[in-house]
Amino acid sequence: MERMHCDGFEGRYEFDPEADIFHGELVLPQDVVTFQGQTLQELRQAMADSVADYLEFKATATAHKAPQTPDPS
């Protein structure tokens, strides 16, 4: 799998030749956040959108619990 980064988050992705699409997920300890795109440019934008959506969801869904942050290692 290949890797990309956005706003401190790491994403891993690969190309599915049968579906002709890139798909990936954020590397998080507990949550699963996926993204996909037909080109690398679309994939980068989808990852950025997924990071923003994840942070917004975690902030509003559990006001007393902070969103997970990427492992600094």
pLDDT value of residue 73: 63
Residue 59 confidence (pLDDT): 86
Q: Is the pLDDT of residue 62 over 80?
A: no
- For residue 72, pLDDT beyond 80: no
Domain 2-61 class, CATH top level = alpha beta
- Span 3-61, pLDDT tens digits: 999 999 999 999 999 999 999 999 998 999 999 999 999 999 999 999 999 999 888 87
> Which distant-in-sequence residues (6+ apart) come within 8 Å of 32 by Cβ?
25
Cα–Cα distance measured from residue 43 to residue 56, given in angstroms and rounded to the nearest whole number: 20
More confident residue, 41 or 68: 41
Domain spans, the chain: 2-61
- Return the pLDDT at 63: 66
